[in-house]
Amino acid sequence: MKDIDHHMTGGLFGALERLANRAFTHRYSPMNYLGQVSIFLLLLLAISGIYMLPFYRINVEKAYDSVEAITGDLIGGLMRSIHRYAADALVLVLLLHGIKMLLERRFLHGRWVVWLSGVLLFGVVMVEGLTGYWMVWDQRAQMVAQSVTEFLDVLPVFPKPLAMALTVDDSVTSLLFFAVVFVHIALPLFSTVLVLLHFSRFAKTVMLPPRQISALLLGSMLLLAILKPATSAPRAELNRTLTNVPVDWFYMFPLPLAQMRPDLLWLLIVLSGFLLLLIPRLFRGQEEAARVDADTCVGCGLCYEDCPYSAINMRESDGKRVAEVSPERCACCGTCVGSCNFNAVELGGQRLETLLKEAGKRVKEGKPLVILCRHCSDRRIHRMLAEAESGALELPCIGMVNPALISAALDAGASRVILAGCKPGDCKYRLGNRWLEARVAGERAPVLKDRRMERISVCWLMPGEEDVLLKEVQRHNGDAEVKRECIQEKPSLPLAAFLVILTLLPLAYFSASPAYSMVQEDRGLLLFTMSHPGERLVPCREPTVEELKAGNVTSCPRERSPVEVVIEVDGREVLRNSYSPSGLWKDGPSYAYEKIVLEPGEYLLAVKVKDSQRGDFRYTFQKRVRIEAGRVVHMRFEKGRFSVGG
């Protein structure tokens, strides 16, 4: 499985990451800070949203005009555009971040909480985006509102179809808008809880990307806002069909499937959501959590300080301070082993003493010893090192390297020690490469006291960069300092500009293109709605004398009959359906919400309604109606009466 992971990350993300590293350098590549980039985009959304909220009118008649006024203002227009593009970028970044975490299996052990909160956060962001578009009340909002309500109506939980509240302009109330705005404002509060939960398992948390990346993101959003400002679609009109509507595909990509097969979309959402939430259970880590020998521990607290996931606590035991591991939080990275100079911490049967012996066995006299992170290693690297006659020691994380291990390898006859780990900012266990670099530089305990620095190299890698490590192995001489020849320190500005443009182009295009039509431009729509109670399955009867004495005044079973509807257009049957009564006891009205697409022209419309299991159709209606392209003809049947409106 590890080789598969390396192949997939090398193939899918490796090329992109290497390209980004060349353009921005490994320390400032956005691909190494996808989680922090997401937080920065959330902050942009919060700031721009808070700015626009006082100018927005929570009213169905005034919402569109208030948004247009915001757009027409210089600062307001910039804020709206930044809000739009930051939201789209957030979806893209979250998807990349989630896929990368999945392929690299960063959900094992105690990190399952991080995975689950991230999956839930993505779902919340999607709902926030849809409710945000609803607030504008243009044709795009109309499309979102009708699609979402029709999609929700598939679930048998609403007594009356939600879509019936969006049949005519007068049916849309300001109370509905208030509910949508409330959801749009309340969800960010829930998102904040999820973000805090997401970072709760991390120690030494850095929630924002480096300032250079933040400046790049802000500049990119401003550039998009200036070159292609966010605009509204035409005002919503419920008596018109939706054709050639500019659609934000980052949020509205399920629209075609929701329109054609909403039941299938529900199935896909439920199955994919369930599978994503179940992934940490399907791929459990096999390693046991680290363990501290209380008898050996001196209570220095270095392991407590270095643990990337706050899995170690300090407690009192037999009158002395000792470290204790929380197995449910341990990620099995081994950073604590690298922090301990006293042979007190063990992971997978390995502690400092056993690692020192293992390093001595792996050393080949006069050849380099490569100590490498498991996530930068695969069979190809081991085969390459074997061909170079170089020794190799693989560890779960490069943070597991204690400086004493380096000195022991040199003392055993290694010509050099090469430390190979994940690139800074992209450590699979967050802080391993950062702590190792600080230990070797003498900036963090336990520090490297060995002065043979010319024989020590540090090389940061990613899958697919075997040639970089091979070049380092083949290098014989070095300067009197830690080597980093495998790290490019200067950005490539032309390549960086190319990648930024390549990223901004899809954001600019797919935020409003290509346009989408729910009904063909040259077609009209016949909308039929019904609210009618069927007759009782068992008629009411007068109570007997005995029932009256018992207190039963009437005898009326509650269940009602389904209502059957047949619609014919010019003698051709276009709809025949039976609608069950609503209510837990099936004693409420039957509801119908049906759309029939027709070519423009004049038609003889005939409707028959049967509300009883006895007899024939009780209600009939005939009328000639004119269908126009782009218009909606609404036929209602309520309380035994028919009406037709345009």
Are 253 and 109 within one domain? yes
In a domain, 28, yes or no: no
Cα 94 from Cα 195, distance rounded (Å): 13
Are 486 and 617 within one domain? no
Give me the pLDDT at residue 489, please: 64
Query: How does pLDDT run across 225-257, given as a tens digit for each residue?
Result: 999 999 999 999 999 999 999 999 999 999 999
Cα 222 from Cα 224, distance rounded (Å): 5
Please count the structural domains in the chain: 4
Structure tokens at 467: 């040639």
CB atoms within 10 A of CB 63: 24
Structure tokens at 289: 């959590």
Residue among 35, 37, 42, 40 at smallest CA distance from 192: 42
Query: How does pLDDT run across 401-419, given as a tens digit for each residue?
Result: 999 999 999 999 998 899 9
Cα 237 from Cα 634, distance rounded (Å): 13
Query: How does pLDDT run across 52-93, given as a tens digit for each residue?
Result: 999 999 988 899 999 999 999 999 999 999 999 999 999 999
Are 437 and 497 within one domain? yes
Amino acid code (one letter) for 461: L
Give me the pLDDT at residue 390, please: 85
Lowest-confidence region among 112-126, 212-226, 421-435, 561-575: 421-435
With tokens 């009213």, the residue in question is 59
Query: How does pLDDT run across 96-116, given as a tens digit for each residue?
Result: 999 988 888 888 887 888 999
Q: How confident is the model at residue 143 (pLDDT cuts 50, 70, 90)?
A: very high
Structure tokens at 223: 């550039």
Q: Residue 228: give its domain's CATH number.
A: 1.20.810.10
Q: Is 50 exceeded by the pLDDT of residue 36?
A: yes
Are 203 and 85 within one domain? yes
Q: Is 70 exceeded by the pLDDT of residue 11?
A: no
Structure tokens at 209: 């990307």
Q: Is 70 exceeded by the pLDDT of residue 366?
A: yes
Q: Residue 632: give its domain's CATH number.
A: 2.60.40
Q: Residue 438: give its domain's CATH number.
A: 3.40.50
In a domain, 34, yes or no: no
- Pure H helices in 32-111: 34-52, 63-72, 74-103
- DSSP state, 402? -
How far is CA 329 from each of CA 308, 374, 453, 484, 505, rounded to the nearest angstrom?
Answer: 10, 20, 36, 33, 41
Cα 45 from Cα 428, distance rounded (Å): 29
Q: Which residues contact 565 (CB under 8 A, 6 or more apart)?
A: 528, 530, 575, 576, 577, 578, 579, 592, 607, 608, 609, 610, 637
Amino acid code (one letter) for 307: C
Q: Is 80 exceeded by the pLDDT of residue 592?
A: yes
Q: Is 80 exceeded by the pLDDT of residue 43?
A: yes
Residue among 535, 380, 399, 541 at smallest CA distance from 465: 380
Which sign does the torsion angle of CA 327, 329, 334, 336 carry? Answer: negative
Residue 597 in contact with residue 520, Cβ under 8 Å?
yes
Give me the pLDDT at residue 428, please: 87
Residue among 486, 457, 27 at smallest CA distance from 213: 27
In a domain, 631, yes or no: yes
Q: How confident is the model at residue 451 (pLDDT cuts 50, 70, 90)?
A: confident
211-227 and 74-103 helices cross at what angle (nearest 10)? 130
Question: Does 568 or 540 have the greater pLDDT score?
Answer: 568
Residue 521 in contact with residue 630, Cβ under 8 Å?
yes
Are 295 and 277 within one domain? no
- 446: preceding bond cis by omega (within 30 degrees): yes
Amino acid code (one letter) for 580: S
Residue 218 in contact with residue 46, Cβ under 8 Å?
no
Question: Does 318 or 246 have the greater pLDDT score?
Answer: 246
User: What number of CA atoms fall less than 13 Å from residue 272's CA on the CB side?
Assistant: 10
Are 494 and 589 within one domain? no
Cα 189 from Cα 177, distance rounded (Å): 19
Give the domain range for residue 577: 524-645
Residue ending a domain, choose from 326, 350, 374: 350
Lowest-confidence region among 69-78, 210-219, 554-563: 554-563
Lowest-confidence region among 162-171, 227-236, 570-579: 162-171
Q: How confident is the model at residue 484 (pLDDT cuts 50, 70, 90)?
A: very low
Q: Residue 303: give its domain's CATH number.
A: 3.30.70.20
Cα 46 from Cα 128, distance rounded (Å): 12
Give me the pLDDT at residue 487, please: 52
Query: How does pLDDT run across 277-290, given as a tens digit for each residue?
Result: 999 888 876 678 99
- DSSP state, 59? S
In a domain, 25, yes or no: no
Calculate the average pLDDT of the chain: 89
